[in-house]
Structure formats: structure tokens, C-alpha cells
Amino acid sequence: MKNNVSHLKLKLSIKSLVILAITTVPMFATSADDAKTKEVKPQEPVAAQQADGPSYRNEASFPKIASGKWTGPKLADGQPDISGHWSNTIANHNNFTDPQGGIPNDPAPRRTPLGKREDRAPSRVSDPADGQVPFQPWALEEVKKFQVGFHNPTEPKFIEPLARCAPGGVPKSFYWHGYEIAQYPGYVLFVFNNGTRIIHLDGKPHLPEKIKLWNADSRGHWEGNTLVVDVKNHNGKALFGRSGEFISENGTIQEKYIFSNDGKRYNYEAVFTDPTVYTRPFTVTIPARLWTYEDKPNGWHFEARLAKHAGKEPIVEREERICAENNGGFGLGARK
């Protein structure tokens, strides 16, 4: 059983405010599994994972990783072997341009005051330099309306789609719960709690243009340490998070997943183009790190356990990926 952070908040109440405050904090917590109690069945103690793993902290800055050769291990088909459990290192989907700055216009009082902007992680937007999404005026208006309506939605469009466990889509899936990357000849698979992205490596044509998808349609190839992905057929419906930014179904994305040669980190750098929404293309950068058996399970980044088996080596198992199945208000869990 796990409680998801996704919630459907329709009424502002003291209780909600407190709960909201609690859940916006976890990204700053020293112990990452405080806000979400994970009722994991007690496992046989197989290794030192639970007890001695390092505690997790979010980052306020992260290293740039240069595109170039891959010197790490490779799979039989030649792909860099980067399969595993990954998660972003900055924050969740509360705020796109100030990821650690809390939900815009959040009426709930902060537990700790916001410090200086430069002390927090930079905007997800790495280009342009001002860290703002280059919206056309009409689009910016819509975003601002969302940032107000989010806190008291009187229209369905002000409900952030993750509250209903709609698929996180692109790019939001990368700064929500941790996810798994799996590799096969011809495919790289991203498995999220509320959806999947299948990156086709064989160069087959994209789906017909009129088919629009929550997770879009992806075609990729490797260039050294970088997985280059062309994304089309985006339906734009997932939005980018609780600050309301978005792309439309006319948008396309060029992604680069740049992996460090020790295989422990990658940076997502993606150019978003949509002449019907933006005044120019812009770049989103999301750092991610690998989680392994040496890490403590974490109800957000790393919902996993060590497998029970006769052998000695630690085998990490992922918890069942569900979202809608267990969705509900904070702390409430699913009713039906």
C-alpha cells in the first residue's frame, strides 16, 4: 500500500492547508520517506539496505554532463547499459520555474521561509537564460489563470491532471515519482507509476499525426553517451505541473538523455518547440540519479525492496506501479 502525493483538492480547508503544507515539504526533508508512509510488508532482512543506506537530499545544483563517448558497460546490442531505477534530484512538479519554491500562489503558510532565489535549484527552463518559458501572451494568461484556479478549482481545467492519476506525460514524468529504465534490442522503456514511454530505436515512422497521446510517440537512437529522442504526437494534456505550464498537441520535443560514464547520473536536456504556444523553442533540463540496493527505499524516488532469494547478491525489486488504484486525498487512500 502506498499513499500517493497526487490529490484532488476541491475545497480549501484548514485540514487541507495543513496537509498541503506537509506534502510540499518532502522535497526538503532530510529523510525522504516521512510524508508518505509506505506500508511495505516486512521483508526478510537480506542486506544492509534498509538500515545503513545514506539518507537522501535534494540538490540545489547539479553537474553538467558533456555529450561524448560512452566508456561504461554496454549491452549485447551495443547500447550503453543504463538500465535501473532513476529519479530526478531537484524537486517534484509543484513549480516549473522555481522547482524548490513551492506551488505558485500557495495560500498555505510555509513551514520554513523561502530563502534567496539563488540558494534554490534553478528553473527547469535552462534556455532562455531567464529561466522562463517563452509563452505567447495568450498562453501566459492561461498559465496565470491556472496558478490561481489551482488552489480553488471551479473549472475542471484547473485540476492538475496528476491529481487524477492521468499519465504524467512529457516531461512531467521525469520529476514525479521515481521510475525505471529498461533496455531491449530495439527499445528503451521508461516505466512510470502512471504510464509508460516506449522509445522505439528501429527508426519506424511515427504514428499518424492525428493520433495524440499522453505519453507521446518516441523514436530514439544512441550517440555515444547520449540517448537522442524525437517526440511527436504529444496531446499536451498532462501539463507540466502545478504551475500550469503546457505544450499543445502541435508541439514536438527533441530530447537528449546525457549519461555520465560512471552510470550514476544523467541529465535530460530537451528542446520544446510549439509555434502555436511559444514565441521560440526553449530547453528543459532535468538532472537524475540512479538508485541502487545501497540506497534506502524511498516512498517517492525509490519504491523498492530487496528480493527474497536463496542467493547472496542483492536483487532490487520494484513495488507494483499503481496510481489511480490507490488515489485519494492526502492520507486517505483509494475508496473504490
Partner 1 sequence: MNTLRFNTLQRYRPTRFKKVGSALLLLIAVFTFSLVTPSADAHDNTKIPRLANGKPDFSGIWQTTSAADYDLEPHSNRKDAPPGPGIVEGGEIPYLPKALAQRKKNFENRATDDPALKGYTLGVPRAVYYPEPFQIFQRARDLTVIPQFGHSVRTIHTNNTEHPEDPNDWWLGDSRAKWEGDTLVVDAKHFNDKTWLDRSGNFHSDALQVVERWKFIDPNTIEYKATLTDEQVFSKPWNISVILHRHREKNFQLIEDYRYTLDYDQYYPPKPDQK
Note the residues at the interface with partner 1 (CB under 8 A). Answer: 72-73, 75, 81, 83-85, 180, 182, 189, 191, 207-213, 235, 262-264, 290, 292-294, 304, 313-318
DSSP reduced 3-state for 322: coil
C-beta of 235: minimal distance to partner 1 in Å? 8
Instruction: Kindly report whether the peptide bond that precedes residue 128 is cis, defined as omega within 30 degrees of 0.
Output: yes
Closest to partner 1 by CB, 34 or 77: 77
Give the integer Cα–Cα distance in Å for 327 and 2: 9
Q: Are 12 and 152 in contact (CB under 8 A)?
A: yes
C-beta of 199: minimal distance to partner 1 in Å? 14
C-beta of 327: minimal distance to partner 1 in Å? 20
Amino acid at 116: K
φ, ψ dihedrals at 270, nearest 5°: -135, 135
Closest to partner 1 by CB, 84 or 128: 84
C-beta of 306: minimal distance to partner 1 in Å? 9
Closest to partner 1 by CB, 98 or 180: 180
C-beta of 264: minimal distance to partner 1 in Å? 7
Closest to partner 1 by CB, 63 or 107: 63
List the one residue out of 159, 143, 141 whose CA is nearest residue 151.
Answer: 159
Closest to partner 1 by CB, 80 or 101: 80
- Residue 215 zone, left/alpha/beta (φ > 0; ψ -120 to 50; rest): alpha
Q: Are 172 and 238 in contact (CB under 8 A)?
A: yes
